[in-house]
Amino acid sequence: MNETSELLVLGLGLILGLRHALDPDHIVAVTTFIGEQQQIRRACRIGLFWGMGHTIALSTAGLLVVGLKVPMSTWLADRLEFAVCIMLIVLGVRLITNVHRRWHSHDHSVDWQRSGLRPLIVGIVHGAAGSASLTLLVLSTISSTFHALLYILLFGIGSMAGMLLISLLISIPVKLAGERLSSAVLPIQMGTGILSCAFGLYLGVTIWSRLAS
């Protein structure tokens, strides 16, 4: 692969990372966090922490699989994907429970103590689940170990930027709803929790059917 081709591939990694942030399971997971508050700055921080966790997982997997030649089994990859489904359901149930509590106590405050840690962990789980397909693509496309690792890093940075943008776009209507129609906030949050549970269940059934076949 010549220098021009390598630059094109690396640039493509950044663009695909931006696109990767648009995966439905990523958006649903992050929305369960963003829907709980109405401050754009904090929403962007949630997206940034998710992207950081995602990039950490991808970089670690890339170092192991591409750099140290440690194979990732199909068995592990399938279980990691299934873990994402369980995580979406847990996030949905958590949001529904919090909304139900605030609805009956009339307490609309949000605990921010772990607002960065939780999205970071969710991003790590998402990154780990997607690392198998990404490293397989990189190994089949890029021969240089250095450029392969750089591609994965750029992909992660792209996904971080993409999720930051998505978080910003999601937080704006939530903020407007809170300012102009505060009574709509809790129903929106409840709907987000239900959506996360339903989507996680759908993905789980799909993956389980694939594993059972």
Q: How many residues does the chain have?
A: 213
CA dist 41 → 2, 95, 100, 119, 178 (Å): 42, 20, 25, 15, 15
Tell me, what's the pLDDT at 112?
47
116-151: pLDDT as tens digits: 788 999 999 999 998 888 887 888 778 788 888 999
User: Where is mean pLDDT largest: 64-73, 110-119, 192-201?
Assistant: 192-201
Tell me, what's the pLDDT at 173?
84
148-178: pLDDT as tens digits: 899 999 999 999 999 999 999 988 887 887 7
DSSP state of 68: S
What are the tokens at 190? 């409840």
User: Where is mean pLDDT largest: 29-38, 74-83, 199-208?
Assistant: 199-208
pLDDT band, residue 114 (cuts 50/70/90): low
pLDDT band, residue 111 (cuts 50/70/90): very low
Contact call for residues 18 and 162 (beta carbons, < 8 A): yes
4-43: pLDDT as tens digits: 677 788 888 889 999 999 999 999 999 998 876 667 888 8
Give the CA angle between residues 84, 207, 24 to the nearest 5°: 50
Q: Which of 20-24, 28-32, 98-102, 201-205 has the lowest mean pLDDT?
A: 98-102
Please provide the average confidence, as pLDDT, over all residues in the chain.
86
Tell me, what's the pLDDT at 184?
75
Sort residue 9 into left (φ over 0), alpha (ψ -120 to 50) or beta.
Answer: alpha
Tell me, what's the pLDDT at 107?
54
Percent of the chain with pLDDT over 90: 46
pLDDT band, residue 1 (cuts 50/70/90): low
